[in-house]
A and B are shown apart, each in its own frame.
Chain A
């Protein structure tokens, strides 16, 4: 995209207005990634802003042969994983509480949305975020990049500086963990117990 290349070049030379154009263009994917990873709108806002500030500082390192969006999302992904790892140091497991979606205040539905639909959508969002919260950071990242950004295994591997087989393995385990978390939360029927197992 010529316009985008022009914005990048001007931003590299210190043109903040050109950089703001890039922020306008990519704010939704960057914020969404942060929100899906961190699960908290305030933290996501802070992380998304920090992603753009880092991108501005590191623009001279951007390789124009790569997709700008991929480069930007990689910055966001690494930053969010760092935040989650730091958070884990003092984090007690909140899986049970989050699965009940207590007090979740996620994105609000637009004004044009039907109230009933809005409630349904909010519940679905709460379920999704609660399920994501059960995953370790690396697995969560693989799921987010796969489902929200429709990236191939190769693209995810490149973005997370990993291998295709490692990404496949993470996705495999992450999907299974999500399925089990959904079963344990009663969102889907549980697996029947084997006849020999005591009730």
Chain B
């Protein structure tokens, strides 16, 4: 047996899987090879130290520290979500200005009909809903309330609806101005 094979058998011996015939062969090699004998002594010493080393516990209060960190993390996530919604609401509030600056003003062929609808309160409804939207989210963010997935979906749908209303109202006003301009 050479030293390389002896090394493999030493590993089997440490794992407790060395068969008896190999035990004898390994012992015979160790008897005549001082290098392998020294390595075997060192391997056994290391095995002994590792085998006796205990599981080290964390400092007391570990679970509380994790719970506190988890709570902070969740609060930050909720606040982040609230800020995104607030930003969207702010964007919505100032959208008419942005729209006026950035987009050309398309005139609907049914402008006159829509204008009549507006006179019956569409613009009032739009401004009321928009105000409610902003107030609800400012309150939710201020109180650090968590909005569930369903609530976000419902608010998202409402946002789209309001955007549609806003677009219609803006076109109405544009149409109105054009009609009044000689």
Which residues of chain B come closer than 8 Å to A176, judged between CB atoms? 7, 39, 43
For window 7-40 of A, CB contacts with B under 8 Å fall at: 16, 19-20, 23-24, 27-29, 31-32, 35-36
Contact of B41 among A29, A45, A124, A188 (CB under 8 A): A188
Chain B interfacial residues counted at CB < 8 A = 34
Bound: A44/B59 CA distance, A: 11
| B98 on interface, CB distance cutoff 8 Å | no
Cross-chain contact A53 with B11 (CB below 8 angstroms): no
Contacts of A43 in B (CB 8 A): none
Is there an interface contact between A148 and B53, defined as CB atoms closer than 8 Å?
A: yes
Q: How far is the CB of B2 from chain A (nearest CB, A)?
A: 15
Secondary structure type dominating chain B contacts = helix
Residue B38 at the chain A interface, CB threshold 8 Å: yes
* B42 interface residue per 8 A CB criterion: yes
Q: Give, as a whole number of angstroms, the nearest-CB distance from A53 to chain B.
A: 6
A191 touches B53 (CB 8 A): no
Q: Is the CB of B56 within 8 A of A179?
A: no
Does the CB pair A27–B58 fall under 8 Å? yes
For chain A, give the interface size range: 35 or more
Residue from B14, B50, B57 within 8 A of A31 (CB atoms):
B57
Chain B residues with Cβ under 8 A from A16's Cβ?
67, 70-71, 74
**B34 interfacial by beta-carbon distance below 8 Å:** yes
Q: Using a CB–CB distance below 8 Å, which chain A residues touch chain B?
A: 16, 19-20, 23-24, 27-29, 31-32, 35-36, 41, 44-45, 48-49, 52-53, 56, 106-107, 124-125, 127-128, 131, 143, 147-148, 168, 171-172, 175-176, 178-180, 182-183, 187-192, 194
30 contacts between A and B (CB under 8 A): A23-B62, A28-B55, A28-B56, A29-B55, A36-B56, A41-B59, A45-B59, A49-B66, A52-B66, A53-B66, A53-B70, A107-B57, A124-B53, A125-B53, A131-B46, A147-B50, A147-B51, A168-B11, A171-B11, A172-B8, A175-B14, A175-B43, A179-B42, A179-B45, A182-B42, A182-B45, A188-B38, A189-B41, A191-B39, A192-B38
